[in-house]
Amino acid sequence: MQYINPKLDTQQLSQIFSRDGRVLIRDFFEPTVIEALSQAVDRIDWALTYRDVNGDRVLSGEQLRALTPEQRSILVDGIHAVARHEFQFSFCTDSLVAAAQRGETDLLARFMRWMADEQFMSKIRQITGVTDINRVYAQATMYTRGNFLVIHDDHVDAEDRRLAYVINLTRHWRADWGGLLHFTAADGSVIDSFFPHFNSLSLFRVPQSHFVSYVAPFAQGERTAITGWLIAA
């Protein structure tokens, strides 16, 4: 089955990526594929991932629903306290890697396995010129009111991450709701911004300084995606 839109202008996309180190590709997948992914992501029972003073934390959907309003307020205050001085994030997640490793066969687990195969990898190599990628990390993500991801560059010593990607699954969004992918210069100024168009692929070289802007309390929706990295093993 053909997952990727055959009408993509790979040469033009490659020129943009070569010039900027990043590219936003509209209509990347065939319509039936992106519709199926969107519907599968909408059925996720989301967990919240964030950091506290002891490191990364995850609260399951069940744990989140059990919180009282007072406990939720304390949780948010703690998240903001870390963000004032350290790297911080707060968004909802579901690991496709973990699902694939458990041997699950639902659509998202199968899609994760497809991403690690040649049809996807070869297209990304053609666009980016990064030829040594051969491993993928993927998670489903949702940014809703109060979620954010502060400035960072995606580099970690333990992994040879070459590229980061975002497969955008949001049908309706507004820029003033936040949740945009912004790229920054050394002086902190924003030099580029990617809007989460439905069926777009955001692709950029690692390391590269970027952040996801705070989702406003008045946002009338959730920004959903499949995100991760392409790694040279």
Whether 192 is covered by a domain: the verdict is yes
Whether 80 is covered by a domain: the verdict is no
Q: What is the CATH number of the domain that holds 226?
A: 2.60.120.620
Whether 22 is covered by a domain: the verdict is yes
The per-residue pLDDT for 233 is 77
- List strand residue ranges (DSSP E) for 62-180, in order: 89-95, 135-143, 148-152, 161-168
The per-residue pLDDT for 116 is 93
Whether 63 is covered by a domain: the verdict is no
Q: Which amino acid is at 99?
A: A
Containing domain of residue 18, as a range?
A: 10-43+95-231
Q: At 193, list the tokens.
A: 């911004």
Q: What is the distance between the alpha carbons of residues 201 and 186, in angstroms, rounded to a whole number?
A: 25
**26-62 as b/e, with b when 16 or more CB fall inside 10 Å?**
eebbbeebbeebbebbeebebbbbbbeeeeeeebeee
Q: Could you list the pLDDT tens digit for every one of the 233 residues in the chain? A: 799 999 999 999 999 999 999 999 999 999 999 999 999 999 999 999 999 999 999 999 999 999 999 999 999 999 999 999 999 999 999 999 888 888 888 999 999 999 999 999 999 999 999 999 999 999 999 999 999 999 999 999 989 999 999 999 999 999 999 999 999 999 999 999 999 999 999 999 999 999 999 999 999 999 999 999 999 97
The Cα-based distances of 9 to 5, 22, 168, 204 in angstroms read 10, 15, 19, 17
* Residue found by looking up tokens 């870390």 in the block: 82
Q: What is the distance between the alpha carbons of residues 227 and 112, in angstroms, rounded to a whole number?
A: 11
Tell me which H or E stretch contains 43.
none
The model carries a pTM of 0.97
Domains in the chain, number: 1
Whether 169 is covered by a domain: the verdict is yes
Whether 105 is covered by a domain: the verdict is yes
Whether 85 is covered by a domain: the verdict is no
Whether 77 is covered by a domain: the verdict is no
